[in-house]
Structure 1
Amino acid sequence: MKVVIVFGTRPEAIKMCPVIKAIKRCEGLECCVCVTGQHKDMLQQVLDVFHVKADYNLDIMREKQTLYDITYAVMEGIRNVIRKERPGIVLVHGDTTTTFAAALSCFYEKIPIGHVEAGLRTRNKYSPYPEEFNRQAVDIVSDLYFAPTNSAKDNLLKEGKKEELVFVTGNTAIDALKTTVREDYNHEILNWAAGSRMILLTAHRRENWGTSLENIFEAVRTIVDEQQDIKVVCPVHKNPIIQETAHRILGNHKRIKLVSPLNVIDFHNIIAKAYLILTDSGGIQEEAPSLGKPVLVLRDMTERPEGVAAGSLKLVGTDKEQIKRNLKNILRDSKEYLRMSSAQNPYGDGHASEKIVKILMEWRERYTKNEK
């Protein structure tokens, strides 16, 4: 059975490359990789690390592209790919615009869809935006659901999905860490931060652009000024809005290092060496707890409540005073830090990709019978 895997952004690539590798090791499944290029350079870095070659690259990325542009370009490109390949199933991941548009194209062509990282919910369609809508819409048209946790499965069952089509696999992000995190890793950033408690800061969410992003950066700069033993590393997203805000507020500080987006090996290993993480990202909420790092989540709600329940994540929002208060607390309270850093990882055992392949093989048997 032919499996077409579609993704377009760096986070999707990190989480889908282990699935691709697992499918390619499996007799009975043929893997076809289609990237949309929603991210371009950052996407290729991940493919190189995992030694994955795309069979199709839609190369949709354009300067100042909008959600309209991405959706149209992906739908048109995916339509052509699936009409040519006629796969038994198409796998999409998570909640990007690539994922939504690809799933909708498959639905129009009546091609079965498998949703990796299905069932995550905040139940607020604008938080995160547009991701919450994307993931709910994809789950409406999917045929197989690979839920990372039991709570994600419960969300799907409450929405009426058939239990025999929903599988708890763990998160493939944990699988990826086995390839990227290295004991002997070194980097100039680590040399720069030596002797200090290093904080990794990432902020890029569309709903945080403007005042919220300024609040985040201003709060961090204030704490760095007050706490002489910390240094902050901030990989700055390439979006011009984020670039301008980050350099205006955080630039020219001797203990804040603004860097270009890091490749996946550097990024994962710097997470592993960091003291704690400040982020509005989704994927880091899974990766950091797996590496024993506390995470202050720069959002008011999260679709990954398991980490909050386990104690490894804490929602701190985007209010300047609240961020400062929570950051001060964890820097000063060693018991709180130990509690968060030693919390059990709720996102799986690093074998999610293998579980997905096993489920696909069972799907293949049904698919083959139907073909006969």
Structure 2
Amino acid sequence: MKVFVAIGTRPEAIKLAPVVAALRPKADVVVATTGQHPRLAVGALADFGIVPDLALPPIEGRPSLAQLTASMTAVLDLALVGQKPDWVVVQGDTNSAFAAGLAAYYRSIPVAHVEAGLRTGNLAMPFPEEGNRQMLARIARWHFAPTVRAAANLVSEGVDRTRVVMSGNTVVDAVALARAGRREEDWKALDAALALPDGPLVLVSCHRRENRGQTLLDICSAIRRLAARYPLHRLVLPMHPEPDVRTVFQVELAGVDNVFLREPFGYVETLHALDRCDLVLTDSGGLQEEVATYRKPVVVMRDQTERPEGIEAGFASLAGRDPDRIVSEVSGWLDDPQRRARLAGVANPYGDGSASRRIAETLLVSD
């Protein structure tokens, strides 16, 4: 069996790395980077000892979403003709995942969708991710749902329940795989390498399209207020490579003594920061899941989340995008150490670390 694994972004690389590892002993696996965020994707794969077998041309300039998707679909189409895979595996809700799924569909190659079934029900939030994952659900052959709720979403939309597998989330597998074999001194060395400041940390991440413009300025205002309220905390912010995001952070947060702007972290560096921090403040999807492995709280700067399991388990607080509420939700965690400590006894709602094995076993016996 030949499996073509399409990876365009850092989160895709992280969540598909353990799937690649599970498939490779028994299948011919072609790992292809789509060109969407090649440097970040390749760097994340390297943290798992994976080198892409096929690197498609990087996307130049700043194309529109339509241009990005059209360009990747065309190049992926040629790659699929050359590779002739039995399956195409995509993950999540990116333009890369949708383009690879569409190219495979047009060539009548079955698609396996990892992390299927997440929904906000609002095509505008997150944009364009909600649309991408809903469209993928129409063309995928296998739907690997990370939670019971995600599986139920798919069935309620008319997806054949025999093609839905409640696999668990591969991010739990990825954390275990990235940490395997690393010694305590390896993790300690990262403090020096990353120049992480002494003292309690808050890890900050923000990049969503719907959070740009005035909303991003409001978020920067909330970060400044939090920095002033908690002067002993260090707010560490790895900046997304998108210029519209980086420039705002560099202008709005310059000169704030306890805000530390950093280049994007690798995955191992991110895990180290999660281990060290008191709290995560983010609009990311993946970080909402990863904090559960570390039993840390996360404040989500979005009006809706497709990951309500974290809220129900007690790890996540949905703050919306209003700076007053963001400050209030973060303060509710930082001012209450006992509330944070209680998370140590909460079960991870995203799985048991066997998702990749379940996915591989399903694909290997598929027609």
Give the Å deviation of 1:55: 2.1
Q: Distance in 1 between matches of 2:37 and 2:19?
A: 19
Q: Distance in 2 between matches of 1:78 and 1:201?
A: 34
Q: What code does the residue aligned with 2:152 have?
A: D
Q: Distance in 2 between matches of 1:289 and 1:71?
A: 32
Match of 1:103 in 2: 101
Give the count of matched residue pairs.
Answer: 361
8 A contact 2:333–2:340 mirrored in 1? yes
Residue 281 of structure 1 aligns to a residue whose secondary structure is coil
CA RMSD, Structure 1 to Structure 2 (Å): 1.5
In structure 2, the CA distance between the partners of 1:341 and 1:301, relative to structure 1 (3 Å rule), is farther
Q: What code does the residue aligned with 2:90 have?
A: V
Give the Å deviation of 1:139: 0.7
Which stretch has the larger CA shift, 198-207 or 30-39? 30-39
- Equivalent positions of 1:211-290 (< 5 A) are 211-290=214-293
**Residue 84, structure 1, aligned to residue 88, structure 2:** no
In structure 2, the CA distance between the partners of 1:222 and 1:125, relative to structure 1 (3 Å rule), is same
- Equivalent positions of 1:70-219 (< 5 A) are 70-181=68-179, 182=182, 183-184=184-185, 185-186=187-188, 187-188=191-192, 192-194=196-198, 196-219=199-222
TM-score if structure 1 supplies the norm length? 0.94
Q: Which of 350, 355, 358 matches 1:355?
A: 358
Match of 2:313 in 1: 310
Match of 2:9 in 1: 9
Give the Å deviation of 1:189: 7.4
Match of 2:327 in 1: 324
8 A contact 1:316–1:323 mirrored in 2? yes
Q: Distance in 2 between matches of 1:341 and 1:41?
A: 35
Give the Å deviation of 1:80: 0.9
8 A contact 1:146–1:167 mirrored in 2? yes
Give the Å deviation of 1:98: 0.6
Q: What code does the residue aligned with 1:7 have?
A: I
Q: Distance in 2 between matches of 1:101 and 1:342?
A: 41
Residue 50 of structure 1 aligns to a residue whose secondary structure is coil
Q: Distance in 1 between matches of 2:16 and 2:85?
A: 17
8 A contact 2:34–2:58 mirrored in 1? yes
Q: What code does the residue aligned with 1:303 have?
A: E
Fraction of identical pairs, as percent: 36
Give the Å deviation of 1:190: 7.4
Residue 365 of structure 2 aligns to a residue whose secondary structure is helix
Give the Å deviation of 1:157: 0.7
In structure 2, the CA distance between the partners of 1:161 and 1:328, relative to structure 1 (3 Å rule), is same
Residue 338 of structure 1 aligns to a residue whose secondary structure is helix
Q: What code does the residue aligned with 1:110 have?
A: S
Give the Å deviation of 1:336: 2.7
Q: What code does the residue aligned with 1:13 have?
A: A
Match of 2:47 in 1: 49
Query: Deviations 1:138-189 (Å, cap 9, x if unpaired)?
Result: 0110000110111100001101111111001111111111132354302237
Q: Which of 285, 296, 299 matches 1:296?
A: 299
Query: Deviations 1:176-220 (Å, cap 9, x if unpaired)?
Result: 1113235430223776432x2200000000110011111112111
8 A contact 1:312–1:341 mirrored in 2? no
8 A contact 1:311–1:339 mirrored in 2? no
8 A contact 2:170–2:355 mirrored in 1? yes
Q: Distance in 2 between matches of 1:95 and 1:341?
A: 30
Which stretch has the larger CA shift, 80-89 or 145-154? 80-89
Which stretch has the larger CA shift, 176-185 or 196-205? 176-185
Give the Å deviation of 1:83: 1.5
- Unaligned runs of 5+ residues in structure 1 are 368-372
Query: Deviations 1:301-346 (Å, cap 9, x if unpaired)?
Result: 1011111111111100110111111112211123332344543211
8 A contact 2:275–2:294 mirrored in 1? yes
Residue 146 of structure 1 aligns to a residue whose secondary structure is strand
Q: Distance in 1 between matches of 2:196 and 2:164?
A: 46
- Unaligned runs of 5+ residues in structure 2 are none
Match of 1:23 in 2: 23
Query: Deviations 1:225-275 (Å, cap 9, x if unpaired)?
Result: 122221100001111111111111212222111000011111111111111
Match of 1:370 in 2: none
Q: Distance in 2 between matches of 1:353 and 1:167?
A: 12
